[in-house]
């Protein structure tokens, strides 16, 4: 099990309600796992707790066998993360940023050179990688975020709303990359409210609403039954809203 | 016309800062600001009165020329005011043309670009009038009190009040294209931006030091009168002859060749206004429809270099500060200019103390001044965490201990401070009588003091930082961390400085114990400050790092 989350609960200060409650989810090698929910359902909070960006009240998060609370540095070495907000150092050039991330994760010169070359082709960045990030468009920033998160070839690749702002070509290339990365024995875990992306890409999907996991869907079986994810998602979330 | 009035009203609100996140007009704040401004103006008025009163007494070729001297005085003030207003207008115009809040919104509104442009220019002109009115009125009041011109002087002053801000505005607009070209040229290189900032800071400080020196000479000589001699008047005459169009405005105010002066100034205004319209209107249309940032520094391809995580963090700190002009100015330029500031202040105050008290307290004085400038430079460190904004949350993802991440920020700031301190001490040793022994103490105390101050500033910022996208600028730090750290540092600097100065003053009687005390006392306070800083910095450090929210 590359990612294991057990009974994770998080409450924001100044708020009486829990943002997420008793979240339990797993991700294994070779899988693409999606967390699906509408805006404010608790997807980003879950992802931020898993990555250690937000402290949590109770529960355990284990990444590559390392408890995030007890061995945070070992756990953090195992994953790469792309956030929904552009957490980028805008005064750096794209190349400097990727190189900086490689330094932080202690990637060798040879490895980083070959990976940068590979990603430059994958994301069609060209020479604009040498320009300051502040001059980049939304999509370009997303591409650089992806490169920075992947430069150390993480076993676990975590993303929060990764497809926002990407052009159709890059979005397709990213989806292909997800599959390639998981086929190499890694895990891709991402949150999204885009039903289409989740349906096409994921092996397993967790539906989240009001801070709780409502359903776990195995996409292969789901598709074999001829079910429609959109109809199912709306039915499940509306049922919860009514209760 | 309706559109113009709506936009103009919006611009006025922006100008008066009513729209900037405040629901209601801050009446009390505005009242306090106005009171402070008028107090400053009042003090400057008294100072100007003393200068003019002495200046008109100067005899040139043994003849009094009161009108000539008053003209030179008024001319100089108008010149300085025109330059200042033109510079302010240039900066504001650049903002209007390159990037202003709501630019995207204006593009979508069914309003002509020329209407938006006209509303913005009108607001800029109004801002010029708001600044110019009190200054001109004060200067002319001083002239009225000293020179006692006839009543028509006030009628002519009204003309100057209308024309001077307009002239400054037109001058700014005419200089806009060369100014933008220079900015674009400088912006191509981070080094050029940095050097320009250093130059501006040094220039401003030299000007300030000259003013202080003037005040010091005034104290020494007992009256400002002795500063004005025939050479000085000669220089003033030559200067005011070329300060066009301020000399015409001074003529106008003093009723000299009124018709000719008025005609000339009006001609300049009309021709200038037409040229301005043509230039800025075209520029504005281009700027409004330009989607991307106007100035982008393109970096050359560089070979990939591998660094340790700690070195990479330090380099990141440097790059983020060096490439942001506001940060480079607040920290790096200040640090680079600190030696000149320390040296200027030291020589100035040493002369003052020697002349007034007849004492030699070089070590204590140099220590006092160095510590004060250390605080001013390192106050920037109170943004060590918050200045990264939302990107600062990335630090929490790194597989590095919080101590390592935070200490990289401290090490970067301390390295800059130490280099600046070292240069200051070297300059003092070379240029003044500060001996090597004192210099070593100065370096040691200064370094420990800087370290303490940086530790406190960093930790205070960590405790209060909100890493949301709104807090990416130094100005937006709502927690007043900078003010709090500066105050803490100043308290300790004053304690150390005054103790050392006092002990050395008492030691002039020959007491060796007091002389030793002047070194040991500051050392003890510095060590106490360092201990407090270390305890404060390390207390629940990791918890605070992980509790930091975005």
Q: Which residues of B lie closer than 8 Å to A, measured between beta carbons?
A: 292-293, 296-302, 304-309, 311-313, 315-316, 319-320, 323-324, 388, 390-391, 393-394, 396-401, 469, 546-547, 549-550
Residue pair A197/A205 in contact by the 8 Å Cβ criterion: no
Q: What is the pLDDT of residue B469?
A: 52
Residues of chain B contacting A86 with CB distance shorter than 8 Å = 390-391
Cβ B319–A109 below 8 Å, yes or no? no
Domain count of chain A?
A: 2
Cβ A55–B547 below 8 Å, yes or no? yes
Residue A233 contacts B, CB cutoff 8 Å: no
Residues of chain B contacting A77 with CB distance shorter than 8 Å = 399
Same domain, A106 and A66: no
pLDDT in tens, A127-138: 889 888 988 888
Cβ B304–A92 below 8 Å, yes or no? no
Same domain, A8 and A127: no
Per-window interface: A 87-116 vs B, CB < 8 A:
87-93, 95-96, 99-100, 102-106, 108-109, 112-113, 116
Neighbours of B433 (CB within 10 A): 10
**Average pLDDT in the B141-155 region?**
88
Residues of chain B contacting A74 with CB distance shorter than 8 Å = 399
Q: What is the ipTM of this complex?
A: 0.91
Q: Considering A153, A173, A207, which residue would you say is the last residue of a domain?
A: A153
Measured between alpha carbons, how far is B89 from A13 in angstroms, rounded to an integer? 46
Same domain, A149 and A162: no
Same domain, A71 and A131: no
Same domain, A160 and A233: yes
Q: Distance from B530 to chain A by nearest Cα, in Å?
A: 30
pLDDT in tens, B177-226: 788 778 877 877 888 888 888 888 888 888 887 777 777 776 666 666 66
Q: Distance from B207 to chain A by nearest Cα, in Å?
A: 33
Q: Considering A105, A138, A153, which residue would you say is the last residue of a domain?
A: A153
Same domain, A148 and A40: no
Same domain, A91 and A194: no
Residues of chain B contacting A53 with CB distance shorter than 8 Å = 393, 396-397, 550
Q: Is A205 helix (H, G, I), strand (E, B) or coil?
A: strand
φ/ψ of B57, rounded to 5, equals: -80, -10
Q: What is the CATH number of the domain that holds A227?
A: 3.40.50.300
**Residue A109 lies in domain:** 87-153
pLDDT in tens, B532-550: 999 999 998 888 888 776 5
**Average pLDDT in the A60-76 region?**
94
* Cα B308 → chain centroid: 38
**HSE (side-chain half, CA atoms, 13 Å) at A233:** 21
Cβ B320–A103 below 8 Å, yes or no? no
Cβ B400–A104 below 8 Å, yes or no? yes
pLDDT for residue A214 is more than 90: yes
Reported as a pLDDT band with limits 50, 70 and 90, residue B16 is low
pLDDT for residue B233 is more than 90: no
pLDDT in tens, B17-75: 654 544 456 677 777 878 888 888 898 898 888 888 888 877 767 777 888 888 888 99
For residue B291, the 8-state DSSP code is: -
Q: What is the pLDDT of residue B280?
A: 67
Same domain, A123 and A30: no
Candidates A192, A178, A149, A225; CA nearest to A34 is A192
CA dihedral B526, B527, B533, B537 (to 10 degrees): 150
More confident residue, B218 or B514: B514
Residues of chain B contacting A145 with CB distance shorter than 8 Å = none
Q: Considering A99, A125, A153, which residue would you say is the last residue of a domain?
A: A153
Cβ A100–B305 below 8 Å, yes or no? no
Cβ B308–A103 below 8 Å, yes or no? yes
For B308, which residue in chain A has the nearest alpha carbon? Answer: A103
Same domain, A158 and A113: no
Same domain, A37 and A137: no
Same domain, A65 and A159: yes
Q: Is B445 left (phi over 0), alpha (psi -120 to 50) or beta?
A: alpha
Which residues is A33 bridged to in the sheet?
A189, A204
Cβ B396–A53 below 8 Å, yes or no? yes
Residues of chain B contacting A119 with CB distance shorter than 8 Å = none
Residues of chain B contacting A130 with CB distance shorter than 8 Å = 298-301
Please state whether the peptide bond connecting residue B245 to the residue before it is cis, i.e. omega within 30 degrees of 0.
Answer: yes
**Average pLDDT in the A22-38 region?**
94
Same domain, A110 and A160: no
> Which tokens in the block code for residue A51?
């990555």
């Amino acid at each position: 099990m590359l990612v294991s989350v057990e009974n994770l609960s998080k409450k924001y200060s100044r708020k009486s309600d829990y943002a997420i409650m008793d979240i339990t989810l797993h991700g294994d090698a070779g899988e693409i796992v999606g967390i699906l929910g509408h805006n404010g359902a608790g997807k980003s909070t879950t992802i931020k707790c898993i990555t250690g960006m937000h402290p949590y009240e109770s529960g355990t998060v284990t990444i590559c066998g390392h408890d995030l609370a007890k061995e945070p540095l070992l756990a953090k070495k195992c994953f790469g993360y792309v956030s929904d907000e552009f957490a980028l150092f805008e005064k750096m050039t794209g190349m400097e940023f990727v190189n900086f991330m490689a330094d932080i994760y202690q990637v060798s010169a040879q490895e980083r050179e070959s990976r940068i070359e590979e990603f430059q082709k994958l994301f069609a960045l060209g020479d604009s990688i040498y320009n300051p990030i502040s001059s980049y468009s939304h999509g370009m920033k997303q591409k650089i975020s992806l490169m920075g998160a992947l430069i150390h070839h993480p076993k676990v690749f975590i993303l929060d709303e990764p497809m926002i702002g990407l052009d159709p070509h890059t979005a397709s290339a990213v989806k292909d990359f997800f599959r390639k990365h998981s086929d190499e024995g890694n895990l891709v875990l991402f949150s999204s409210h885009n039903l289409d992306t989740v349906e096409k890409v994921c092996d397993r999907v967790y539906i989240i609403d009001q801070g709780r996991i409502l359903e776990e869907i195995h996409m292969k079986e789901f598709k074999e039954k001829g079910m429609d994810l959109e109809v199912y998602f709306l039915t499940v979330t509306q049922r919860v809203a009514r209760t | 016309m309706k559109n113009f009035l709506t936009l103009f009203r919006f611009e006025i609100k922006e100008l008066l800062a009513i729209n900037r996140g405040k629901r209601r007009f801050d009446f009390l704040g505005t009242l306090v600001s106005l009171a402070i401004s008028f107090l400053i103006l009042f003090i400057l008025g008294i100072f100007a009165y003393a200068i003019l009163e002495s200046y008109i007494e100067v005899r040139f070729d043994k003849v009094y020329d009161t009108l000539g001297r008053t003209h030179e005085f008024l001319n100089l003030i108008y010149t300085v005011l025109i330059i200042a207003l033109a510079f302010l207008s240039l900066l504001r115009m650049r903002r209007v043309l390159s990037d202003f809040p709501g630019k995207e919104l204006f593009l979508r509104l069914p309003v002509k670009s020329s209407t938006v442009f006209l509303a913005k220019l009108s607001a800029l002109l109004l801002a010029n009038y708001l600044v110019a009115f009190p200054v001109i009125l004060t200067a002319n009041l001083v002239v009225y009190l000293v020179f006692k011109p006839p009543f028509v002087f006030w009628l002519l002053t009204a003309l100057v009040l209308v024309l001077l801000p307009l002239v400054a505005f037109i001058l700014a607009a005419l200089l806009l294209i060369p100014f933008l070209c220079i900015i674009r040229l400088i912006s191509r290189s981070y080094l050029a931006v940095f050097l320009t900032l250093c130059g501006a800071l040094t220039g401003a400080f030299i000007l300030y030091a000259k003013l202080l020196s003037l005040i010091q000479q005034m104290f020494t000589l007992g009256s400002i009168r002795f500063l004005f001699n025939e050479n000085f008047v000669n220089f003033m005459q030559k200067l005011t002859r070329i300060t066009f169009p301020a000399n015409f405005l001074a003529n106008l105010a003093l009723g000299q060749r009124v018709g000719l002066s008025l005609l000339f100034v009006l001609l300049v205004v009309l021709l200038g206004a037409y040229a301005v319209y043509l230039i800025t209107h075209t520029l504005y249309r281009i700027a409004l429809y330009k989607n991307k940032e106007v100035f982008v520094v393109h970096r050359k391809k560089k070979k990939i270099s591998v660094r340790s995580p700690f070195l990479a963090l330090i380099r990141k700190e440097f790059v983020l500060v060096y490439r942001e002009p506001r940060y480079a100015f607040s920290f790096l330029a200040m640090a680079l200019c600190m030696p000149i500031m320390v040296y200027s202040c030291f020589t100035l105050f040493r002369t003052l103390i020697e002349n007034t008290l007849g004492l030699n307290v070089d070590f204590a004085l140099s220590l006092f001044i160095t510590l004060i400038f250390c605080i001013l430079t390192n106050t920037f460190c109170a943004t060590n965490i918050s200045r990264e904004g939302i990107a600062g949350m990335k630090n929490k993802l790194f597989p590095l201990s919080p101590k390592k991440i935070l200490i990289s920020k401290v090490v970067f700031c301390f390295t800059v401070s130490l280099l600046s301190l070292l240069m200051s001490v070297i300059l003092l040793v070379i240029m003044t009588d500060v001996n090597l022994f004192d210099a070593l103490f100065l370096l040691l105390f200064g370094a420990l003091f800087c370290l303490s101050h940086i530790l406190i500033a960093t930790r205070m910022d960590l405790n209060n930082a909100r890493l949301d996208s709104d807090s990416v600028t130094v100005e937006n730090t709502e927690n007043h961390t900078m003010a709090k750290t500066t105050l803490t540092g100043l308290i300790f600097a004053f304690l150390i400085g005054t103790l050392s100065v006092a002990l050395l003053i008492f030691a002039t009687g020959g007491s060796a114990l007091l002389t030793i005390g002047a070194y040991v006392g500051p050392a003890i306070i510095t060590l106490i400050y360092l201990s407090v800083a270390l305890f404060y910095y390390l207390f629940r450090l990791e918890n605070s790092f992980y509790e930091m929210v975005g």
